[in-house]
């Protein structure tokens, strides 16, 4: 049976992409295979990680599409279609996708968010801002969530969640690292395998 073909969309360092590559090499994503990495930033280190793993990397920028959102999304969709992509994983992808895009791939786009949704999520909550908000609020527990992507930022159905305790003296940077290590890098490969297996068998 053919494996689910996965594309990972990135914008930065690619630590979550690396977690997926490592999980794949350990045999933890038997139902899927990462066959494409798309970055909306030409200098994203994630592209180097993809190259080192022998995965084709493509740069598609909004600027390169004349600053037009529709043309930008069309270029991404054309690349996905050319590679017969079944599943899209947003791994630190800092571009907002329109409802037109998300409706094209229902329950085929995954995102990892560094909090326990519905806390500290939605528009404006990304990167260190999420962890700063958790610390400002004084919560004892945060974590990460992998969810399907729809037209609402962080609004899609939840697939997996994992809690991470906040410790005395945490800064947003320290907390970000702990959430990655204890939750994001564990959950994302698991969720990708769950969805890949489902798609492979449909």
Q: What are the per-10-residue average pLDDT scores of the chain (202 residues)?
A: 95 96 98 98 97 98 95 98 98 93 97 96 92 97 97 94 97 98 98 97 86
Q: If residue 146 lies in a helix (H) or strand (E), which one and from where to where?
A: strand 141-148
Domain ranges of the chain: 4-200
Sign of CA dihedral 53, 180, 90, 63: negative
CA distances in angstroms from 16 to 89, 91, 127, listed in the order given: 10, 6, 13
Residue 74: the pLDDT is: 97
3-class SS at 62? coil
Q: What is the CA radius of gyration of the chain?
A: 16
Residue 96: the pLDDT is: 86
Give the span between the Cα atoms of 93 and 101, in whole angstroms: 14
CA distances in angstroms from 35 to 22, 84, 128, 156, 189, listed in the order given: 14, 9, 29, 24, 15
82-93 pLDDT, tens digit each: 999 999 999 999
CA dihedral 108, 117, 14, 50 (to 10 degrees): -20
113 is catalytic: yes
CA distances in angstroms from 124 to 14, 22, 70, 139, listed in the order given: 20, 30, 22, 19
> Which residue(s) pair with 58 in the sheet?
38
Which top CATH class is 4-200?
Answer: alpha beta
Residue 1: the pLDDT is: 79
Give the span between the Cα atoms of 202 and 198, in whole angstroms: 6
Contact at 8 Å (CB) between 164 and 179? yes
Exactly one of 49, 113, 131, 147 is catalytic; which is it? 113
Give the span between the Cα atoms of 183 and 163, in whole angstroms: 7
Residue 202: the pLDDT is: 83
Give the span between the Cα atoms of 148 and 155, in whole angstroms: 8
């Amino acid at each position: 049976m053919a494996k689910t073909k996965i594309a990972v969309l990135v914008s930065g360092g690619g630590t979550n992409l690396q977690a997926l590559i490592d999980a794949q090499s350990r045999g933890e994503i038997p139902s899927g295979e990462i066959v494409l990495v798309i970055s909306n930033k030409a200098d994203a280190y994630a592209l180097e990680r993809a190259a080192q793993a022998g995965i084709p990397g493509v740069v598609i920028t909004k600027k390169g599409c004349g600053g037009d959102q529709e043309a930008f999304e069309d270029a991404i969709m054309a690349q996905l279609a050319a590679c017969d992509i079944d599943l899209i994983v947003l791994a630190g992808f800092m571009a907002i996708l329109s409802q037109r895009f998300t409706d094209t791939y229902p329950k085929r786009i995954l995102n990892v968010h560094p909090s326990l949704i519905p806390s500290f999520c939605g528009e404006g909550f990304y990167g260190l801002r999420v962890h700063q908000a958790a610390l400002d609020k004084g919560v004892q527990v945060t974590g990460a969530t992998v969810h399907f992507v729809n037209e609402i930022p962080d609004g899609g159905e939840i697939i997996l969640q994992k809690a991470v305790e906040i410790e005395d003296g945490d800064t947003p940077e320290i907390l970000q690292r702990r959430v990655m290590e204890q939750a994001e890098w564990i959950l994302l490969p698991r969720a990708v395998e769950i969805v890949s297996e489902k798609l492979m068998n449909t």
